[in-house]
Structure 1
């Protein structure tokens, strides 16, 4: 979660805005390829491998002719270290500890990424296996298995090596990393949407269902259960309802601030949210692969509606997309574009995020004028903007720019192919931010903390609500709005 350490301009002192700046920087560097200047071609790409020497290469074939994969990896690390450290310094983190922590997190995360691309783990089809010299695929997880490996390693460190996890704490920023990745994702989806304008419009329109579900169904039910059956005070019940039903950490913090709860309340709720998000992240993608591989967009939207915190929701969407793509390839002979499955998860989650500020404003009004009845206290409408998730601006900006660029050159296939290649280079950076997200989510997940802080009753509410109705209502709503909607098919 973002930590406000100073009173400077939010444009330079919050993780939300720095996700926008980093995402836009990478996006604009990628745009150089459209004008004959390849500014990101040196970024490292991880390939499926049997021979480890072939695991790494620059993302651009032009750079691959003169640069080794190891050199590309080192340059990528240095680039990301510099830009994230600039952000860390602006946000007044402990820069020395951030640099050391980020360095360790980067290399451990990338090692997981490489392991996840090992042929027996990653190869999804017979053809992929044979290209690698294998007789047949084994686990069929695709390269995104690296996300799972990163999560597992993070969980091990976070729960069994607490001193080491605390040492890395300054750079353990999953929300920052995933929001940066989401800004970059907008560009990739934007150029691909030119080939499927109707589908992109459907996803955006149907994603609005998230608002109805999260705010008008989930929230009242959780609040009622917490108050009626577990006897929590409104101070505890409201942040808990927001954390479980809306957007996890961000919503719990925004709600706590809106109702002026004691600082300990959203902190404890946030810890609970992160832990349960990891449980969902481990379970739900595999359930989706088993039962929803014929309805990929339903599966993607389900992740956005059911999994809390931006990091875990988008991570679940990415894993689900990869698992379903692999399953559909083998079971149905269809190669769906997994980015559109991920887009369904991201879009539903983002629409929920957009309304956090409005919901916090509404709750502030209710608390001031009804529950606590504070005469003379005014609630300013500007609070809606203060609580608006700014990274959403970056996501829609990159999406719209690439959509408009693509629409302006629809008849120029060479230009469109170059634009897709350019955004593919940005996607390589996005993949790294995703794997950093998975690893740091694991680092933050201290299961023992639940009991040490006496959160048994809170955990009971979360468990009952999450597995009692949130997951299943989310599945029903996703099916209602996305059943029969399919992503584009890619060549086999």
Structure 2
């Protein structure tokens, strides 16, 4: 039994291994063809998405991620049998979400697949009585952290630097000012410490990814993380729809509008969608600014883990006692190493040709792991926990902080890009 315990790998290291394995397989030529989920009419749905050839691609993708999920259960010491029972259910629900999100009318509304994943999970989890073995074997954290490691492959430093230093300067100023304001506001409203850290990071850095990274850094409660993610997704929809029209009404320059969108809207997909509504220059600048904020994700997670260790609860130690470097390292979210390593690898060591060959498959898998995670979050989350009376104050804090984010980012965008 003792020898078996030695084989167990911490989940954060496990996702570094699994994410690295996916990347290495792709670079070795073992990359998956991306299934089609886009459709406009029922006939097109049948002909493209539900065709035997496309269903075969979906099946191959299922087998690939099933093996990765089972391997994750094995090396983290969880039940492989339970994972093999639960994963197909989560995958099928996620595919349904991807099909719904692939509809042309839904795409016109800029609704992302993760919104449907979360919604389907919440509906099933709250209106059906799920067996305990299903809930207990969900691997939400594993899925979302694998997605974060793969996200690093799309954070290319050369792309960011091509737009000059302005995007990086804006990202740094916005992140620091908005994070501190959100933190101060949450403290004033007496929001609990875990939610304060997650809300501050989600509003200021890059939404869902930042909330997840912060939760990992502070070992946060999954229900609180689900609540913050729900707020991010709910507010991202009206922002990405109305902000481009506000910019058009006041005749903002495209560069300013792009910087405003990239710095304000919390999800990368929503940034791209809103930038597209404005124009090519706005799309380019908004994407660069958002990627610049994504670059700060690893640094922010490290800083937050150190701050949390020193000021809150160095586990098992007196609060007044300063933790050692060993304690800081123990609490540091190791999956951030995978994110940074993937970004460095694709920024400096992978040729543009190789990057082009694998980026479609890796981007698809990144989105799939996130969608699987959101389905799992929905299945394990209860509406009563999300929308209880105690949830109102954090929601008000999030909305006010988001309003501050919109205003301060617009001012900085005009100062740097006008």
Q: What TM-score range do you get, normalising by the shorter chain?
A: 0.7 to 0.9
Over 3 Å counting, the alpha-carbon distance change for 1:445 and 1:99 in structure 2 is same
Question: Residue 283 of structure 2 is aligned with which of 336, 355, 358?
Answer: 336
Does structure 1 residue 323 correspond to structure 2 residue 273?
Answer: yes
Name the count of aligned residue pairs. Answer: 392
Superposition RMSD on alpha carbons, in Å?
3.8
Q: TM-score, normalised by structure 2?
A: 0.78
Matched ranges for 1:280-319 at <5 A: 280-292=232-244, 295-304=257-266, 316-318=267-269
Within 2, Cα distance between the matches of 1:197 and 1:249? 26
Task: Tell me, yes or no, if the aligned pair for 2:175 and 2:293 is still in contact at 8 Å.
Answer: no
Q: Point out where structure 2 has 5 or more consecutive residues left out of the alignment.
A: 202-209, 246-253
Over 3 Å counting, the alpha-carbon distance change for 1:334 and 1:219 in structure 2 is closer
CA deviation vs aligned residue, 1:106-152 (integer Å, no higher than 9, x gap)? 11101221222123333xxxxxxxxxxxxxxxx353xx643332222
Over 3 Å counting, the alpha-carbon distance change for 1:211 and 1:349 in structure 2 is same
Q: Give the 3-state SS of the residue equivalent to 2:87 in structure 1.
A: helix
Does structure 1 residue 22 correspond to structure 2 residue 22?
Answer: no
Within 2, Cα distance between the matches of 1:418 and 1:31? 7
State the partner residue of 1:379.
Answer: 323
Within 2, Cα distance between the matches of 1:345 and 1:358? 20
State the partner residue of 2:249.
Answer: none
Question: Residue 124 of structure 2 is aligned with which of 157, 163, 179?
Answer: 157
Within 2, Cα distance between the matches of 1:341 and 1:179? 23
Within 1, Cα distance between the matches of 2:374 and 2:289? 19
Question: Residue 395 of structure 2 is aligned with which of 454, 463, 469?
Answer: 463
Within 2, Cα distance between the matches of 1:466 and 1:109? 28
Q: Post-superposition shift, 1:349?
A: 4.3
Within 1, Cα distance between the matches of 2:47 and 2:380? 33
Over 3 Å counting, the alpha-carbon distance change for 1:423 and 1:273 in structure 2 is closer
Higher relative contact order (CA 8 A, sep 6+): 2
CA deviation vs aligned residue, 1:243-272 (integer Å, no higher than 9, x gap)? 4434657656865x8xxxxxxxx64xx524
State the partner residue of 2:404.
Answer: 473
Does structure 1 residue 426 correspond to structure 2 residue 373?
Answer: no
Task: Tell me, yes or no, if the aligned pair for 2:261 and 2:275 is still in contact at 8 Å.
Answer: no
* Farther off after superposition, 338-347 or 153-162: 338-347
Does structure 1 residue 179 correspond to structure 2 residue 172?
Answer: no
Question: Residue 70 of structure 1 is aligned with which of 55, 80, 100?
Answer: 55
Over 3 Å counting, the alpha-carbon distance change for 1:176 and 1:387 in structure 2 is same
- The structure having more radius of gyration, on CA atoms, is 1
Matched ranges for 1:111-190 at <5 A: 111-122=96-107, 139-141=108-110, 145-163=112-130, 166-190=132-156
Does structure 1 residue 44 correspond to structure 2 residue 41?
Answer: no
Within 1, Cα distance between the matches of 2:244 and 2:6? 47
Q: TM-score, normalised by structure 1?
A: 0.68
Task: Tell me, yes or no, if the aligned pair for 1:186 and 1:395 is still in contact at 8 Å.
Answer: yes
* Farther off after superposition, 378-387 or 358-367: 358-367
Q: Post-superposition shift, 1:366?
A: 10
State the partner residue of 2:10.
Answer: 13
Over 3 Å counting, the alpha-carbon distance change for 1:480 and 1:171 in structure 2 is farther
Within 2, Cα distance between the matches of 1:162 and 1:303? 36
Q: Post-superposition shift, 1:281?
A: 0.8
Q: Point out where structure 1 has 5 or more consecutive residues left out of the alignment.
A: 1-5, 33-37, 59-66, 123-138, 227-235, 258-265, 305-315, 410-415, 487-492
CA deviation vs aligned residue, 1:261-300 (integer Å, no higher than 9, x gap)? xxxxx64xx5244224313312223323311475344334
Does structure 1 residue 80 correspond to structure 2 residue 65?
Answer: yes
CA deviation vs aligned residue, 1:364-409 (integer Å, no higher than 9, x gap)? 489999xx776xx552122222222222222221222222135xx6
Within 2, Cα distance between the matches of 1:52 and 1:254? 42
Q: Post-superposition shift, 1:344?
A: 4.7
Over 3 Å counting, the alpha-carbon distance change for 1:245 and 1:435 in structure 2 is same
State the partner residue of 2:206.
Answer: none
Within 2, Cα distance between the matches of 1:175 and 1:481? 35
Matched ranges for 1:335-354 at <5 A: 336=283, 340=288, 343-344=291-292, 346-354=294-302
Task: Tell me, yes or no, if the aligned pair for 2:167 and 2:289 is still in contact at 8 Å.
Answer: no
